[in-house]
Structure 1
Amino acid sequence: PVQDRYIEIQTLLFTINEINKDPDLLPNVTLGYHVYDSCGDPNLAMKSVLQILSGPGIIVPNYSCGDQREIAVFIGDRSTVTALPMAQLLGTYGHTQISYSAIDPVLNDRALYPYYFSTGPNDYIEHVAIAELVEYLGWTWVIILAAGDERGERESKNLMNELNKHGACVDLIGTLTGDINTDTRTLERIQKSTAEVVVLCGEKFRTKTYFVEKMIKEKTLVVPATWIPGYTFPLFNGSLAFKEGFVIFDNSEFEDYVMKIKEDVLLKDLLTVASSCLTHDKEKDTLLQKVYRVSYRNCSGSKLLQFFGRSYRVYTAVYGFAHAEHDMRSSSGKYCNKCIHKNINRK
């Protein structure tokens, strides 16, 4: 498990439990949950969705072989790579989906995805921020490196437009496809370019990070938030990385819950590795430093809190559904109880 994924699951469980204890929000309703790990694989994500819809056992599309408990909402996924095909499938069946991280603007198309919502930021906002950074630093020529797919093409064009608005020119747009020969040629073109700045965009590339690591030694990178902390570069060469901000919201029970989570044996080791913070166990510190070849240091509590940054979005996603459900149940005769979960986006 990865520390931020584990924290997101714990946040989901906390929020559901808090809603179930509230006698006024969803009276006479108890929320349950299924938890599936897509592992960032679209095929596995689709299989998990069909499994939930079909019920336990053999997957039978268009049939529900489980009990009569209705599925109210799907929370997730965190990546557009998996959230997008989920939205396409769930839209067919009229099920609500609320992501807390997928940020591809194409999902904002209400005609195509009427049942999809997100508590995450819009990808294009980051493009504006990158363009303003490039202008501020006086860079006039840059290279864009994107994934060789539909999203990569769409985002690279939008990023180029924003850069042009801020007085920067794009020397070339390179794409990584996962094919070693094609990607090698792309790398060679980038190496020959006189532009010293490479802007990455889109999801973290599904290819060997060798290509990016090699460029770091020769170019200055501008890394989007979708790459951090999914991949940590061994050498930055003066490069800059955007990182999602995090919100510490005023909820004393959640803060207490977070402190208890930090004492979880599994999470404690995950956080130690991710934050490079020393523990109180010298033998463990020595072992981890040898295994991961990094130097550990003493850290304050704020260093660890950064890994709870997306928790608020998970919390908001679940509560957003709960309040929508409450509002519809409170509507006098506008929706029948059996149809409530199907009409959550049509109110």
Structure 2
Amino acid sequence: ISYGATDPALSDRSTFPYFFRTTESDAGYYVLISKIAKYFQWNWVGIIVSNDERGERDHQLLKYYLSRENVCIEFTLRITNINNGNIFYREILKKASANVIIFCGAVNLNILQFKYLYDMLSDKTFILTSNWLYYNHLIDFSHKVFHGSLLLMQNKENYPSNSPYAQFSKGFNPSRYPDDKLLEYIWLQYNFCLHKKQYIQRLHNCSEQESIAEIPMYNSGFHTFNMIYAADMFVKALHYMHHSPGLGTSGMSKKVYNYRYKVSFILLQLYTCAFMFTK
């Protein structure tokens, strides 16, 4: 069960019969983008796409939905890591009259090249899908370019402060898991402290009262609630299977509860990995 994989190819049940997700496929976003373009009469748009297999698939899919709404594509830019890419992009954009540019395909780090084209992109409106929220630091690096963009996302679940997940997060710190090196590194980076009694200049020993829930990005980030939601759906499905006639035996509530706790623990472990890699 994935909380963030948006590749439309994963919807192929014959190829991925055991794959499920709690987030919308990019295909759904392309349908929505096409309808938004029609509603606002954005009949002339540009596309920026990752220069890979997924980018080509998504590009064809987006073209299909745009054509259904009678929206025309003026140009398509494929993001590459070629050094003279900016020269090519500049030539295309200089001739372009479209004021709306749609991103599709996988998120590509080479998008940072576009910050050098600010003079040509400052009056453009970008439309991005939710997978860009997992790489919002890229947008921060090119804030001037992306200012005023339209970024689509599905509603996210909010869990109250007294929920089991919130309580588990509050107690998740290196003092409880002293052998977790990744967690120790997170504490060094965000709390500037060490959970072991050792001295490093400009650092102090942790009070053991800190928790991962106090890190701003953990509570406000797009990852956390989506991951918890995926785990929650998995636990509910498991609970349903154990308690539905013909799908399992009764009296499994204790095992399901224990499984819920284990999933919560794995969830936090996985999140710490995702948290570090996205930063």
TM-score of the pair, normalised by structure 1: 0.50
Name the residue aligned to 1:238. 148
User: 1:214 is matched with which residue?
Assistant: 117
Cα distance in 2 between the residues matched to 1:170 and 1:233? 25
Distance 1:260 1:220, change over 3 A: same
Deviation at 1:248, TM superposition (A): 3.0
Deviation at 1:205, TM superposition (A): 1.0
Change (3 A) 1:99 1:187: farther
Q: Taking every aligned residue pair, what percent have the same amino acid on both sides?
A: 25
Quick check: 2:122–2:144 contact (8 Å CA) kept in 1?
A: no
- Output the TM-score relative to the length of structure 2: 0.60
Q: For residues 231-266 of structure 1, give each alpha carbon's deviation from its aligned partner in whole angstroms, at most 9, with x where no partner exists.
A: 273454432111232123689533652783799736
Q: Counterpart in 1 of 2:128?
A: 223
The structural deviation recorded for 1:206 is: 3.1
Shifted more, 309-318 versus 127-136: the winner is 309-318
Q: Work out the number of aligned pairs and report it.
A: 207
Residue 193 (structure 1) aligns with: 96
Give the 5 Å matches for 1:102-251: 102-182=5-85, 184-211=87-114, 214-215=117-118, 216-231=121-136, 233-248=143-158
Q: Secondary structure at the match of 1:118?
A: coil
Per-residue deviation, residues 2-31 of structure 1 (Å, max 9, x unmatched): xxxxxxxxxxxxxxxxxxxxxxxxxxxxxx
Q: Distance in 1 between matches of 2:166 and 2:15?
A: 41
How do 1:38-53 and structure 2 match up within 5 A?
A: none
Partner SS state of residue 145, structure 1? strand
CA apart distance, 1:115? 2.6
1:315 aligns with 2:232: yes
Q: Deviations over 1:194-245 (max 9, x none)?
A: 1111111122113251325635424221121111252273454432111232
Q: Which runs of 5+ in 1 are unaligned?
A: 1-97, 276-303, 333-347
- Is the CA contact 1:127–1:159 (under 8 Å) kept in the aligned structure 2? yes
Pairwise CA distance, 1:314:
3.0
Q: How many Å separate the matches in 1 of 2:78 and 2:247?
A: 51
TM-superposed CA distance for 1:102, in Å, is 0.6
Deviation at 1:165, TM superposition (A): 1.7
Structure in which a larger fraction of residues adopt helix: 2
Superposition RMSD in Å: 3.7
Give the counterpart letter for 1:219 in structure 2: K
114 and 229 in structure 1: CA distance in 2 versus 1, 3 angstrom threshold: closer
- Larger RCO (CA under 8 A, 6+ residues apart): 1
Q: 1:272 to 1:173 in 2, by over 3 A?
A: closer
Q: Map Cα deviations across residues 153-183 of structure 1 (whole Å, 9 max, x no partner).
A: 1111111221222221111121113233346
Bigger drift between 264-273 and 232-241 goes to 264-273
Alignment of 1:235-314 (within 5 A): 235-248=145-158, 253-254=163-164, 256-257=166-167, 260=170, 265=210, 267=212, 270-271=215-216, 308-314=225-231
For structure 2, the 5+ residue unaligned runs are 137-141, 174-208, 250-279
Contact 1:134–1:168 (CA under 8 A) maintained in structure 2: yes
CA distance in 1, matches of 2:23, 2:159: 16
